[in-house]
Amino acid sequence: MFGRSFRAQDTEENFVIKTLSKAIVTIGRNELITAIKNGFKEHSLCVGCHILMLILKSSLPRKVLVNAFIFVCTSFQFAKTYECQGLLNTYAVCIPLRKQFENFKSLQPTINHIRKKSRLRGDEMCGVFFGVKCALKVTRNLHWTIHLPKAIESKNNREISLNPNGYFIQVTDIHPDANYSPGSCADCGGMLCCEKLSGQCTGDSAAGNWSDYRKCDMSLEVIDYVLSRLKVHKDAKFMLITGDYVKHNTWEVSIEQSKFYINWITNSILKSNYPFRIFPSVGNHEAAPVNCFAPPQVKNELNTTWLYEGGYYKEYIDENTVLIQVNSNYCNRLNFWLLMYPIDSGDQLKWLTSELYETEKAGKKAYIVMHIPVDNRECTEAWTWNYIRIIKRFQKIIVGQFFGHRHYAEFRVMYPLDGSNTVIGVQFITPSLTTFSATNTAYRLYFTDQQGFVTDFETHYLPLEEANKGNVYWKKITPQNGLSFQLQKFQDFDIFREGMQLSNMREYCLFYTSNAINSLHNCSDDNYLRKIVDDAPVCIPFKCPLKGLEV
């Protein structure tokens, strides 16, 4: 009498299950996963997104939505049952599913709050998440503009000297796992393996003492060893640590757990007693839930003030160069808060523009440092579009851009919005410390000239298969011995990319994985090679994708 009957709820639940299942079948399960990671792919994806938003914004009971989403998640094997339940609990509904969840403050209904409070239409949400092609019309929420000040006279010389003046270190994506267990199953079928709960395995199925190429992070002991080893680079000017200090247990991450790993890494760094300064960034895995970085206007219990004041800062690294550390989690499509506050969330680009302008007026140069690369897969189209405008406007004073997040040794070549082939900037992406997934433990040294331009770099890596056999040693790979490529100016990246043939594509594939030779990277497959090379250009937002390379 006071609510829906059991039969009514059952009927509604079946309707949601059938509707979502049909959409997933139409799009394709694997295609949907790829689109969530990379953005727009097919128009069928937009139809599916519109259907999902109609369901989320409906007045259907929470229990109906919960049961339907768990059923669809498990039926299509997006994750294991407990992971599906954990993801829904962590992001959406805050229902204690296990005893250890009950006291976690992080388990707040983030998505539930956003779907009820956001003023964006459903198609606008799809436009933010997947790209404007999924919106019914382009609104200011999808295509906004940052004001850029007029250029002033700059005497900075853009020519790169081949004489190095020093070097700095970049470490990224550490992902320690306190539950890592040698001998556990490395291919457990879950989102994260190599833990005691993964079960015990033998032979090639078992996790090694140092880690594994499959979906496994690294033990605290191994991470501690790697961080301690960095002391050998005693002449380094400084070190960048560009985020991701928490393991990949996305379905059950908590504020308490995130704090534990941040504090543990901080203590490991402090006891290493480095002779150089350290500049940290915030990674997308530090938030709880993962990726969900609330902007400053969120004042309730869902805010992110437990983690940082803003997650961005500037510091002078010498008298002529300022380091500007931007919180690129505010650009991340997978940050669900952008479905509520899509326009320059956290005022990051406004702040970046202001700092670059002050740097320009002072006659100084700038490094830009972030966790997430600004490209056509990770950031919203509007954020990327404005970032390209900012780089073009201040290209005379920006001497380097440095990122992590991707876990592989990559770069992004940036072009102006007018469609010309003149390179306005290059994003250097350092490979990860963690071996998750299918890469060797690595960090990078960047060598610079007197102006701060990168003249060369070395990727130092630990061959994992050898380490697991007891042969622990480090090797290094450079653009010269890994790509037959010498960096003299940013345009060289464009020349290198455009001229890439199958032979040096295969070289690049090994460089990309920090020489991790395993079956998870098929460096002899032409389509795979084309894919990783095609990731390099940052094409014009709202006009993507670029045409693929001819092989």
Q: What is the DSSP string of 91-155?
A: III----SGGGTT-TT---HHHHHHHH--S-HHHHHHHHH-GGGSSS--TTTS-----PPP----
pLDDT at 99: 40
Each residue's pLDDT tens digit, 378-419: 999 999 999 999 999 999 999 999 999 999 999 898 989 988
- Dist CA 58 CA 54 (whole Å): 6
**Secondary structure, 3-state, 193-205:** CCEHHHCECCHHH
User: In this structure, is residue 489 part of a structural domain?
Assistant: yes
pLDDT at 179: 98
pLDDT at 4: 44
- Dist CA 527 CA 530 (whole Å): 5
Residue 50 labeled ligand binder: no
Task: Report the range of poorest mean pLDDT among 38-47, 181-190, 212-221, 335-344.
Answer: 38-47
pLDDT at 488: 58
Residue 407 labeled ligand binder: yes
Judged against a pLDDT cut of 80, whether residue 542 lies above it is answered with no
- Dist CA 378 CA 384 (whole Å): 9
- Dist CA 191 CA 202 (whole Å): 20
Dihedral sign for Cα 46, 47, 48, 52, please: positive
Query: In the chain, how long is the greatest CA-to-CA distance?
Result: 82
- Dist CA 258 CA 304 (whole Å): 12
Q: Report the number of distinct structural domains present in the chain.
A: 2
User: In this structure, is residue 407 part of a structural domain?
Assistant: yes
Burial label for 263, CB within 10 Å (0-12, 13-18, 19+), is exposed
Q: 128 and 246, same structural domain?
A: no
Q: 125 and 175, same structural domain?
A: no
User: In this structure, is residue 154 part of a structural domain?
Assistant: no
- Dist CA 474 CA 461 (whole Å): 6
Buried-exposed string 6-40: b where 16+ CB fall within 10 A, e elsewhere: eeebeebbeebbebbeebbeebeeeebeebeebbb
Average pLDDT rounded to a whole number, residues 208-227: 97
Written as six digits, the tokens of 9 are 């709820």
Residue 371 labeled ligand binder: yes
Q: At what angle do helices 6-27 and 62-75 cross, to 10 degrees?
A: 40
pLDDT at 139: 95
Sequence-ordered list of residues with C-beta below 8 angstroms from that of 245, at least 6 positions apart, any chain? 174, 175, 176, 258, 261, 262, 265, 283, 285, 286
Q: What is the DSSP letter of 300?
A: S
Which of 185, 202, 203 is closest to 194 using CA atoms? 185
Task: Report the range of poorest mean pLDDT among 80-94, 228-242, 321-335.
Answer: 80-94
Judged against a pLDDT cut of 60, whether residue 523 lies above it is answered with yes
Distance of CA 551 to the CA centre of its chain: 28
Please provide residue 102's backbone torsions phi and psi, each rounded to the nearest 5 degrees: -60, -35
Q: 534 and 389, same structural domain?
A: yes
Q: 116 and 10, same structural domain?
A: yes
Residue 405 labeled ligand binder: yes
Judged against a pLDDT cut of 60, whether residue 536 lies above it is answered with yes
Q: Which residue has the higher pLDDT, 40 or 241?
A: 241
Q: Which domain holds residue 253?
A: 166-180+217-538
- Dist CA 313 CA 318 (whole Å): 16
pLDDT at 548: 36
Judged against a pLDDT cut of 60, whether residue 254 lies above it is answered with yes
User: In this structure, is residue 158 part of a structural domain?
Assistant: no
pLDDT at 157: 61
User: In this structure, is residue 233 part of a structural domain?
Assistant: yes
Residue 244 labeled ligand binder: yes
Judged against a pLDDT cut of 90, whether residue 115 lies above it is answered with no
User: In this structure, is residue 102 part of a structural domain?
Assistant: yes
* pLDDT-based confidence at residue 208 (cuts at 50, 70, 90): very high
Burial label for 111, CB within 10 Å (0-12, 13-18, 19+), is middle
Average pLDDT rounded to a whole number, residues 203-227: 97
**Cis preceding-peptide flag for 437 (omega within 30 of 0):** yes
Q: 477 and 414, same structural domain?
A: yes
Integer CA distances (angstroms), 96 to 85, 107, 247, in order = 10, 8, 21
Task: Report the range of poorest mean pLDDT among 31-40, 64-73, 349-358, 480-489.
Answer: 480-489
Q: 174 and 94, same structural domain?
A: no
Q: What is the DSSP letter of 89?
A: I
Average pLDDT rounded to a whole number, residues 125-129: 95
Residue labelled with tokens 């388990």: 107
Q: How many CB atoms lie within 10 A of CB 363?
A: 13
Judged against a pLDDT cut of 80, whether residue 503 lies above it is answered with no
pLDDT at 21: 94
User: In this structure, is residue 36 part of a structural domain?
Assistant: yes
Average pLDDT rounded to a whole number, residues 148-168: 77
Average pLDDT rounded to a whole number, residues 251-265: 96
Q: 464 and 320, same structural domain?
A: yes
Each residue's pLDDT tens digit, 49-60: 999 999 988 888
* CATH number, position 298: 3.60.21.10
- Dist CA 532 CA 408 (whole Å): 10
Q: 226 and 277, same structural domain?
A: yes
Q: 398 and 251, same structural domain?
A: yes
Containing H/E element for 447? Answer: strand 441-448
Mean pLDDT of the chain: 88
Q: 464 and 334, same structural domain?
A: yes
Residue 460 labeled ligand binder: no
pLDDT at 215: 95
Q: 245 and 122, same structural domain?
A: no
- Dist CA 173 CA 192 (whole Å): 15
Residue 113 labeled ligand binder: no
pLDDT at 100: 41
Q: 118 and 171, same structural domain?
A: no
Count of helix runs (H) and strand runs (E) in the chain: 16, 13
User: In this structure, is residue 316 part of a structural domain?
Assistant: yes
For the chain, percent of residues with pLDDT exceeding 70: 87
Each residue's pLDDT tens digit, 455-502: 889 999 999 999 999 999 999 998 776 565 556 566 777 777 666 666
